[in-house]
Structure 1
């Protein structure tokens, strides 16, 4: 069951801000009062709210909301790292997405954030040996959000997936911390290999819309992959690659491409807010 609101820990600034956002949203739009109470104000922690959202979004006639809620509550209770990663992801979305003006938005409206948090629960289930439950979560995330992340993939924190339509991340893919990617990105294999066959994305990488990174190759830290590129070879750190097949076209242009979100080749972006 969810915690009473009175148990909000005073040092959890992110959750406290989400609560304030929800209260302000109700004042601005009273018709959504029930929605925000159910999704935010009824809960005493971000973990409880995430578990509710997970269950509410993924429930089916085969697996009802109560059972999914118990699964997610158990995951968050057993692994504090899940909540830590969720907070880092939420801040990443807020800082990098110009359409995000409140911390409340990723939790309520952004399917990229919600899909990544559901993947994290599925990955935890897989690590516990609960393979079929993990695959059930993967299936429902794909059906509900249009995001297909294998529960075996390893994904860091501070992740932003903007728009998040048609994202595919394969079983042996590794994604580092503070990575940003846009819609229609694929981190896939190149054939029917059964071993380590998917890309390794280092910290701070920016992957543009529609880019395909294929095979067991490494994309170096703080590099940029231009929209629509097909990457088949290793990308050195702090470089920009573009084209089909992708080739190095210059430097990354800044020290933190995934934060700057500058996708214009040869043009340096503005400082992050």
Structure 2
């Protein structure tokens, strides 16, 4: 049976903490009723856990285990990360709400937790970043490697990524070592936040809050993308982008205002062309 579209009330519900977890469990029980063949997956991934923290740690270990690192060791690693850095759980909650509120294909909170590699890869990166900040760099690189192998998402553990981030589809995402991604950013598949060559040091983009980055966009070099801006799909951005602007093209140029203060929430990728611009074109 197809899931109904989210209602306006559903999309606007700012659940967190215990209330969020109760909603997840309610959805999980309904999912098992509707599709009993998924019972083991749903129970193991969600219903056998007491809270979101435990479920996230289990999922991290299950997806990244390999012949080189057991599920048990990875689970202990994740449990330590969440125990020492409770803000990792808060960031995961914000990421989960971001996917639910911004992705029209997401009708339930359990979808990102169980099925969406963008959300799961982002939580794996967050544990890798914790390891890196603790000085456990080789283990952080291992997590980065396994995240790339399992999800096709390559985020350097030294990169800094804020909360409330949505990576939609998430295929071939690359975020470099000195990149910074602000709060409440949305990006689609095949986005690269990279360097421009072999230069060392601070060499990757700084993305402001509430920015929307379209599919296939490449943002290269130690440049800034201002708060509330939009980067059109397929663009190559090589220079600073002011706040609340839309850039498009190769190389990218400013083509207008962003159209709203929070493009990452609106998820509007259309570029409005004025009559004068149409005539010039």
Q: How does 1:69-218 map onto structure 2 within 5 Å?
A: 69-218=75-224
Unmatched tracts of structure 1, length 5 or more: 1-9, 268-273
**Structure 1 residue corresponding to 2:260, chosen from 245, 254, 261:** 254
**Structure 2 residue corresponding to 1:53, chosen from 59, 75, 79:** 59
TM-score by length of 1: 0.93
Counterpart position of 2:226? 220
The Cα shift of 1:65 comes to: 0.3
1:163-204 deviation per Cα after TM superposition (whole angstroms, max 9, x unaligned): 000000000000000000000000000011110000000000
Q: Is structure 2 residue 26 aligned with structure 1 residue 20?
A: yes
Q: Across the two proteins, how many residue pairs are aligned to each other?
A: 258
1:84-116 deviation per Cα after TM superposition (whole angstroms, max 9, x unaligned): 000000000000000000001100000000000
The Cα shift of 1:11 comes to: 5.4
TM-score by length of 2: 0.91
CA RMSD of aligned residues (A): 1.0
User: Which ranges of 4 or more aligned residues in structure 1 deviate by more than 3 Å?
Assistant: none
Query: How many angstroms apart in 2 are the aligned matches of 1:13 and 1:220?
Result: 34
Give secondary structure in 2 for the equivalent of 1:14: helix
Query: How many angstroms apart in 1 are the aligned matches of 2:231 and 2:36?
Result: 43
Query: How many angstroms apart in 2 are the aligned matches of 1:78 and 1:64?
Result: 22
Q: Is structure 2 residue 44 aligned with structure 1 residue 38?
A: yes
Query: How many angstroms apart in 2 are the aligned matches of 1:11 and 1:68?
Result: 24
Counterpart position of 2:9? none
